[in-house]
Chain A
Amino acid sequence: MTASQWHESFARTLVEHGVAPGEARRLADDSTEEAQAANMHPADLFGPATAYAATMARAARPAPLQSLTRTRGPVVLRLTGVTKRYRRHEVLRGVDLTLRAGEVAAVVGANGCGKSTLLDICAGATKATSGRVERSARIGYAPQQRGVAPYLTPDEHFRLFGAVHGMAARRAVATGAHLASGLGWLPRPGIVAGQLSGGTQQKLNVVLGELNRPDLILLDEPYQGFDQDSYLDLWTQVYAWRDAGAGVLVVTHLLHDLDRVDHVLELKATEDR
């Protein structure tokens, strides 16, 4: 790769990670000049263009809502003795959880222990066999799979979900683009969701779950397909939503960052009980 190809690749990747095109060009120029001053090839000085761009994009992004002081608000989700049974197969037994505005809860457990079923119950997509589920009316919901339409562009998704939330089309698109930039993604017009990478589709999925600034955000393994930086961005966003006063319930099977959440609800597979 020549120095100019490195320069182009670096600038393009910065834009893909949500950096404004003008700022991306300036960063690329600065990096190239720095390499020239050191009489080195940019790749030797900074490493691969895509990896360096991802790091720089993350550093260039303003930290969201840092000035907010976290306060715990009213209960946004309360589960009392929630049980789910499919015929004779018991998936969930006696699940209790109280989540307040300004708190994050993580639902952890092995595959097949009912994490996604619990999230569906919280959303209202599935009915609990017994127990009581209370939750705020304004929710954001990002299911694990098939949460986006493969033949619609991100902007069309924003307009569709915005219409459901009573938002004007222009505001929905602007809000979606802003939320996407927090995850290091700049939606490009004309590209349908089916043509996006798995990680970018997942970012779209997460953004749609937060479009209406809900009181309760339900995320089902939202990091699937994410690279390391996107994974960190996601948790930054989760804590920003929390600090802005939302309650966040995250289904995960990764145990990183659990020391920072307020509640950890561990589900056990039926055979483990």
Chain B
Amino acid sequence: MLWTIAGTSMREITRRRAALLLVIALPLAFYAARADMQGQAIRFLALGVGWAVATLALFSHVGSRHLDRRLAVVGASPTALLLGRQLALIGMGLTLAGGYLALVAATQDVARLWAVGLLLATTVIIAAPLGAVVSLVLPRELEGALALLAVMATQMIADPEGTLAKALPMWSTRELTAYAVDPVGDDVLRSGLLHFAVVALLCACGAWAAAVVRLRPQTLPTPVNP
């Protein structure tokens, strides 16, 4: 069932051609806008990938809410429904990240190219459940999109050393970008990965809890026949 849900979810997303083009174009626009500054370009590229995947996840989960509720009523597990859709989104996000890693490799001379792949992947792995959490807490597209806008825009402009930036979900992207581009030590990698692990765990648990609360049907007893 999990793979069928993932497969159908993937097809649904790929049939929204215009949305998919915008998902591809957003990180590219961010990257092109800062192409002259390597660190900034990669950081904005990664945040663009994260924003695009989170928005895709938001719309995917909001759009499928009624169908998922129907599937849950007739026997689908809310966990399988969430996991299936997340697998499709993460798969799509990692494909997008792979494409942009190739672009960075072709256009920049980066000190640790593998770390660019790592930061793009970690950003996708946070973004997909982040979009799911927002969709399950704010189950309307406009409200959800505005919430994501607030989070991502604040992440971009907040002082990276400040508490606010560290409290936001994509701080690890900034740390891992610094590790990929600048001559810094492994402590930056460690702090980035630790932040990623905590945020990914929180987002995954939050998305799962919200999915179970929203989708789980009532448990009804079977009729007793005299």
Whether A and B are associated in the same complex: the answer reads yes
Question: What residues of A have a CB within 8 angstroms of the CB of B71 in the complex?
Answer: 160-161, 164
From B15, B16, B74, contact of A165 by CB (8 A): B74
A152 CB–B CB distance under 8 Å: yes
- Interface flags for B51-73 (1: CB within 8 Å of A; 0: not) read 00000000000011011011101
Stretch at the interface among B1-9, B91-99, B127-135, B162-170: B1-9
| Bound CA–CA A165/B75 (angstroms) | 7
Cα A123 to Cα B16 in complex, Å, equals 31
Q: CB distance A134 to B222 under 8 Å?
A: yes
**Could you say which interface size class chain B belongs to?**
20 to 34
Inter-subunit contact A149/B75 (CB<8 Å): no
Select from chain B the residue with minimum beta-carbon distance to A169: B4
Provide the residues of chain B in CB contact with A134, threshold 8 Å: 220-224
Q: Does B190 contact A (CB under 8 A)?
A: no
User: Is the pair B74, A151 in contact by a Cβ cutoff of 8 Å?
Assistant: no
* Partner pick for A163 among B1, B63, B70, CB 8 A cutoff: B1
A147: Cβ under 8 A from any B Cβ: yes
| CB <8 Å contact, A212 and B223 | no
Does B76 make an interface contact (CB < 8 A)? yes
Contact with B along A239-272 (1 / 0, CB 8 A): 0000000000000000000000000000000000
A218: nearest chain-B partner, CB-CB:
B73
Residues of B within 8 A of A169 (CB): 4
> Separation in Å of the A216 CB from the closest CB of chain B?
10
Interface centre among B66, B71, B217, B223 (most CB of A within 10 A): B223
- Least distance between A133 CB and chain B CB atoms (Å): 5
Q: Are B66 and A135 in contact (CB under 8 A)?
A: no
Chain A residue with the shortest CB-CB distance to B215: A125
Residues of A within 8 A of B75 (CB): 164-165
Would you call B218 an interface residue if the criterion is a C-beta within 8 Å of the partner chain's C-beta atoms?
yes
User: Which residues in B have their C-beta under 8 angstroms from that of A133?
Assistant: 218, 220
A41–B223 CA distance with the chains assembled, in angstroms: 61
Does B107 have its Cβ within 8 Å of any Cβ on chain A?
no
Q: Is A74 touching B5 in the complex (CB atoms < 8 A)?
A: no
Taking the complex as formed, is A42 at the interface, i.e. its CB lies under 8 A from any CB of chain B? no
A88 vs B218: C-alpha distance when bound (angstroms): 22
Q: Is A89 among interface residues, defined by CB-CB distance under 8 A?
A: no
**Closest CB-CB distance, B78 to chain A, in whole Å?**
12
Which residue of the partner chain B has the closest CB to A77? B223
B112 within 8 A of A: no
Check B223–A135 contact: CB distance below 8 A: yes
CB interface residues, A 64-84, toward B, < 8 Å: 74-78
**Cβ–Cβ < 8 Å partners of B159 in chain A:** none
> Is there an interface contact between A149 and B74, defined as CB atoms closer than 8 Å?
no
CB pair B73 A74 closer than 8 Å = no
Could you list 14 examples of A-B contacts with CB < 8 Å? A123-B217, A124-B73, A124-B218, A125-B70, A127-B218, A133-B220, A145-B66, A147-B66, A151-B15, A152-B11, A163-B5, A164-B1, A165-B74, A212-B74
19 new A-B contacts at CB < 8 Å, known A125-B70, A136-B223: A123-B217, A124-B219, A125-B69, A126-B218, A133-B218, A135-B222, A141-B70, A141-B74, A143-B70, A148-B67, A149-B8, A151-B12, A151-B15, A152-B8, A159-B4, A163-B1, A164-B1, A164-B74, A164-B76
